[in-house]
């Protein structure tokens, strides 16, 4: 932000509002990477006026495509899919909590 001329107080406020860092355990790393690869593949639902969107989750078709493109074998896809869905559940809950506050 500083490189774009943001005042120091805005930078400090943005840092204070940022979520705390988190650790990804080694057994979950591949699933986390897949989750990140699908970050733009969320299914959303808008209200009738189109003013708000609700994230429903990662498109299962897109998740399967990403796993296939990444060379994930068929036997590992089910395990990784389940791990990604657990990560997704946490992310959706986090977004819901932020909207509610």
Read off the pLDDT of residues 7-66 as tens digits, 9 standing for 90 and up: 888 888 887 877 777 888 999 999 999 998 888 777 777 777 766 667 778 888 999 999
Assess if residue 19 is contained within a domain.
no
Choice between 57 and 85, residue whose per-residue pLDDT is larger: 85
Domain ranges, residue 50: 28-100
Tell me how far apart the alpha carbons of residues 73 and 14 are, in angstroms, rounded to a whole number: 41
Residue 89 located in a structural domain = yes
Would residue 3 count as lying in a domain?
no
Flag whether 76 is in a domain: yes
Using the predicted structure, report yes or no on whether residue 82 has a pLDDT greater than 90: yes
**Pick the residue with more confidence: 95 or 82?**
82
Residue 1: the pLDDT is 58
Whether residue 9 lies inside any domain: the answer is: no
Q: How far apart are CA 42 and CA 58, in angstroms?
A: 4
Query: Is 4 domain-assigned?
Result: no
Q: What is the pLDDT of residue 71?
A: 93
Q: What total of structural domains would you count in the chain?
A: 1
pTM of the model: 0.69
Specify the pLDDT at position 101: 64
Residue 14 lies in a domain: no
């Amino acid at each position: 932000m500083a490189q774009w001329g943001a005042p120091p107080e805005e930078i400090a406020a943005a840092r204070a509002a940022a979520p705390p860092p988190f650790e990804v355990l080694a057994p979950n790393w591949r699933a986390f990477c897949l989750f990140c690869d699908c970050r733009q593949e969320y299914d959303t639902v808008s209200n009738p006026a189109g003013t708000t969107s609700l994230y429903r989750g990662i498109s299962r078709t897109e998740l399967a495509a990403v796993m296939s493109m990444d060379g994930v074998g068929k036997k590992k896809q089910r395990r990784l899919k389940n791990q990604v869905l657990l990560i997704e559940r946490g992310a959706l809950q986090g977004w819901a909590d932020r909207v509610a506050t």
